[in-house]
Amino acid sequence: MAEFNETDQTPTVDPKTPNLGDSTTSSQPKPEQITTIDVAVPIPDVGPQLQVVVEEFILKSGSDDEEVRTAATNELRDFIEHEEIGITTLLVVVKYAHEVKNVDLLDAFCERVADLIKDKKVVEVREIFGIVNDFTPGEEQALRYEHPWAFED
Amino acid sequence: MWNNLPSDLLSNVFSYLPPHSLARAMVTCRHWHDCARSTTSRHQHPPWFVALPTRARNLCFVHNPIESTWHLLGLKHVPSLTRPVSTIPGHGLILFKSTGSVPLQLSVCDPFTSRFRHLPQLRKPRTNPAVGVIEDCPSQFNVYVAGGMCKAASSGAASYEPTLEMFDSRSKNWTITGSMPIEFAVRLTVWTPNESVYSRGVLYWMTSARAYSIMGFDMSSNKWKELSVPMGDTLEFAAMVPRDGKLAVIGGTHGVNVLVWELGEDDKWNVIERMPVELGKRFVGGSTKCVGIEGGVCLYKEIAKEMVVWRKDRNHKNKWEWYSIEGCNQISGKRLENYPIKGLFLHPNLACSSSFF
């Protein structure tokens, strides 16, 4: 759980570089005040709405109370299900969750990414994710031939 | 970019994909291919029904439950004089046994990658024992063999073998892990059940025909018990089904009455479901078979005939729904014979990470 660091100066809210240390103050982290892992890693720009959702989730996921954690996960998944989150933003969040090692945050967003891959054709997936095909035509053919049942449409 | 995300992150994403989407992800680019290969599926998707023609050893029909399509796989390495007996469903493997009066030889086959491997010889070679499977976790499974007949080395006379052997997929060895009263050895040999259900620490086997009854081996106390099957002497077909960790039985009389019972904590049976009458009309006359897995049951006849599935709803985890599936009578435009089949369920495993092979 992030620690609340008392300082002499009045805490300021700086919308450009949010600090995920705690929900009550937002201040520029000073090197000597950083005491826990997640506090030091600010979430990259993902838009104000998602940023709040992620910050709140990370806070609650550190709670000792299992009910709080479960409710937070459900709220997060609800949000993800109903909001359109752009592919670039998803990439940012997923990498961030991986970096701060928050398993529940990571799983929720990984599943959302999987939803974008599910049931789509190979060319569609490449287009959505901006993937460059680095197989030779022969290699790709051989791979398709390994599981022909997956490519029968 | 998405091309070069950390492998464990991509594998996490891929763990949520159903089999056909995972197969397609493997084709997008090299990095995705490598990550998909080492993905362990979370198995959140419905299991696949697999139909093996009893008289065409190298064919394997599979039904994709999401797209509701049939596909034909060729099984390249399955030797003659073997037949499929059950599956190791979480690992995506079919378990085969040798036919004829030779001592039992078991082997496993992955129909999606055509990998095939014999299990080593039993500690006590025997003919016609019961065969069971327990999967504890994605990286390990155990195969059990119970009863059967053994030839005494000296006299050459055959006798019932009252022991239970276990194969550990990690050590790749058989060990003798239990024994049984001779009456159980006899019944397990005579009925030679191949489908087992593991529930609440007990490995259950059911006789393969009427009058149905169940034998169970309690793993921790090493004790055997017998359970009667509801309507055991009237049912014309029946199968055991694991259901949320509990033991259930689905059974019916031809075309009229198909019921599902669940075993309660007091070892008493409760009716939990009845198949809708309209669906039952498909099973009037002829031999109906059924097979179950955690999350689904299938009633079937031959490959081209309509089948009925009772399955966990994808969207509402606690609801089960009845569906009918069209049989398969043609593949890629070619008409097919109406093969009699052995039906099984499994979760396709496309990752080569299975260390068993």
CA distance A92 to B2: 10
* pLDDT tier at B153, thresholds 50, 70, 90: low
Amino acid at B96: F
> Which residues does chain A have within 8 Å of residue B28's beta carbon, measured at their own beta carbons?
122, 125-126, 129, 131, 133
Q: Do B71 and B328 meet the contact criterion of CB atoms below 8 Å apart?
A: no
The reported pLDDT for the residue numbered A1 is 41
Q: Which residue has the higher pLDDT, A104 or B345?
A: B345
Q: Is residue A45 part of a domain?
A: no
Q: Is residue A46 part of a domain?
A: no
Q: Is residue A53 part of a domain?
A: no
* pLDDT tier at B173, thresholds 50, 70, 90: very high
The reported pLDDT for the residue numbered A152 is 77
* pLDDT above 50 for A72: yes
The reported pLDDT for the residue numbered A21 is 42
Tokens of B138: 């994605």
CA distance B26 to B38: 11
The reported pLDDT for the residue numbered A80 is 86
Q: Do B134 and B203 meet the contact criterion of CB atoms below 8 Å apart?
A: yes
Q: Is residue A102 part of a domain?
A: no
- DSSP 3-state of B210: coil
Flag whether residue A32 sits within 8 Å of chain B, measured between CB atoms: no
CA distance A32 to B51: 66
Q: Is residue A104 part of a domain?
A: no
- DSSP 3-state of A150: helix
The reported pLDDT for the residue numbered B286 is 73
* pLDDT tier at B346, thresholds 50, 70, 90: very high
Task: Give the minimum alpha-carbon distance from A89 to chain B in angstroms, rounded to a whole number.
Answer: 11
* pLDDT above 80 for B133: yes
The reported pLDDT for the residue numbered A37 is 38
The reported pLDDT for the residue numbered A153 is 61
Domain of residue A19 covers 2-29
pLDDT digits over A22-37, tens only? 444 444 444 444 333 3
* pLDDT tier at A4, thresholds 50, 70, 90: very low
The reported pLDDT for the residue numbered B77 is 84
Percentage of residues in chain B having pLDDT higher than 70: 96
The reported pLDDT for the residue numbered A113 is 93
Averaged pLDDT for residues B171-183: 94
Q: Which residue has the higher pLDDT, A80 or A40?
A: A80
The reported pLDDT for the residue numbered B38 is 86
Averaged pLDDT for residues B21-47: 91
Count the neighbouring beta carbons within 10 Å of the beta carbon of residue B156: 7
pLDDT digits over B279-298, tens only? 888 777 778 999 999 989 99
The reported pLDDT for the residue numbered A35 is 35
The reported pLDDT for the residue numbered A127 is 93
With CA atoms as reference, the chain B residue closest to A104 would be: B12
Q: Is residue A13 part of a domain?
A: yes
Q: Is residue A145 part of a domain?
A: yes
Say how many domains are in chain A: 2
Binding-face residues of A in 110-129 toward B, CB within 8 A: 110-111, 113-115, 117-122, 125-126, 129
Q: Which of B16, B71, B113 sits opposite A111 (nearest CB)?
A: B16
Distances (CA, A) of B195 to B60, B143, B215, B290: 19, 11, 12, 11
CA distance A76 to A72: 6
pLDDT digits over B202-213, tens only? 999 998 877 899
pLDDT digits over B243-272, tens only? 999 999 999 986 568 999 999 989 999 999
Averaged pLDDT for residues B139-160: 87
Rg, C-alpha atoms of chain A: 20
Task: Give the minimum alpha-carbon distance from B21 to chain A in angstroms, rounded to a whole number.
Answer: 5
Q: Is residue A84 part of a domain?
A: no
pLDDT digits over A51-62, tens only? 888 888 888 888
Q: Which of B66, B69, B350 sits opposite A147 (nearest CB)?
A: B350
Flag whether residue A140 sits within 8 Å of chain B, measured between CB atoms: yes
Averaged pLDDT for residues B183-196: 91
Which among A9, A10, A39, A37 is positioned nearest to A23, based on CA atoms? A39
A113 vs B19: CB contact, 8 Å cut-off? Answer: no
pLDDT digits over B55-114, tens only? 888 899 999 999 999 999 988 888 888 999 999 999 999 999 998 878 999 999 999 988
* pLDDT above 90 for A117: yes
Tokens of A29: 């982290």
Q: Which of B4, B27, B113 is best to mutate for the A interface (most A CBs within 10 A)?
A: B27
Count the neighbouring beta carbons within 10 Å of the beta carbon of residue B267: 12
> Which residues does chain A have within 8 Å of residue B73's beta carbon, measured at their own beta carbons?
149
Mean pLDDT of chain B: 90
Q: Which residue has the higher pLDDT, A143 or A19?
A: A143
ipTM: 0.83
The reported pLDDT for the residue numbered A38 is 47
The reported pLDDT for the residue numbered A87 is 87
